[in-house]
Amino acid sequence: MKLLVTVKRVVDYNVKVRVKDDHSGIETANVKMSMNPFCEIAVEEAIRLKEKGVASEIVVVSIGPKQCQETLRTALALGADRAILVNTDEEVQPLAVAKLLQAVIAKESPEMVIMGKQSIDGDNNQSGQMLAALLDWPQGTFASEINVADGKLAVTREVDGGLETISLTLPAVVTTDLRLNEPRFASLPNIMKAKRKTLDEMIPADLGVDITARVKTLKVTPPAAREAGVIVESVEELVEKLRNEAKVI
């Protein structure tokens, strides 16, 4: 079974995000970037499936600028076999991402696509579902457990009421949740080996996909600064402030 895993380069989750002075977006110049945490989980799950003998090849795909090669090399160091970069400096919105992936899948013919359920920059949680719709494949979203047997895929997913287990027929699209696994670290020998693994590049035009943005960001502003708290002298004063100032009682 061939697995296709998507990875995205985002601002590192440990970095405090800053808004640009012109409010056009988030500041990314001279900011540490890394693989989206949900994508790390997707890569880890693919590697575990290969270690179990379920998967024979793992292909990782990223869409973005030239710097995404670093993210793909990280995935290769973790255990992926090949990488594909769809090179573009333009903003690629969820529907365009899904269409680009659909075109890549037509070339690669994987039996399963594993994606992070969302990226921590846009938090859209759309590309996986859109891709499944375009492919007309079954989908298992927010997966907390994945089992493959007899050509079927059992996905345990987190829902509001608890856990739900669904059975999917392959090929299928799966999006990963936080509790699916704990990603590993790449060893130094594997980092060196990753430099020799195949990384193919293409552009959206090669795939025949129009990535023109359909949604325009008008303005990005940081959240309002939180006001300092006050110390009250008595319960009566607290009640008075809650009633007359905060107006919550």
pLDDT tens for the chain, 249 residues: list them: 999 999 999 999 999 888 988 988 888 888 999 999 999 999 999 999 999 999 999 999 999 999 999 999 999 999 999 999 999 999 999 999 999 999 999 999 999 999 999 999 989 999 999 999 999 999 999 999 999 988 899 999 988 888 999 999 999 999 999 999 999 999 999 999 999 999 999 999 999 999 998 888 899 998 888 888 889 899 999 999 899 988 888
CA distance 80 to 174: 17
Q: And the tokens for 119?
A: 């990226």
Q: And the tokens for 64?
A: 């973005």
pTM for the whole structure: 0.86
Q: Tell me the per-residue pLDDT of 151-184, one tens digit each, with 9 for 90 and over.
A: 899 999 988 888 999 999 999 999 999 999 999 9
Q: And the tokens for 1?
A: 């079974």
CA distance 75 to 83: 8
CA angle, corner 192, sides to 116 and 13, nearest 5?
Answer: 35
Question: What is the percent of the chain with per-residue pLDDT over 90, rounded to a whole number?
Answer: 76
Domain range summary for the chain, segments of one domain joined by +: 2-223
Summary count for the chain: helices (H), strands (E): 7, 11
CA distance 80 to 76: 4
| CATH of the structural domain 2-223, one choice from 3.30.420.40, 3.40.50.620, 1.10.10.410, 3.40.50.300 | 3.40.50.620
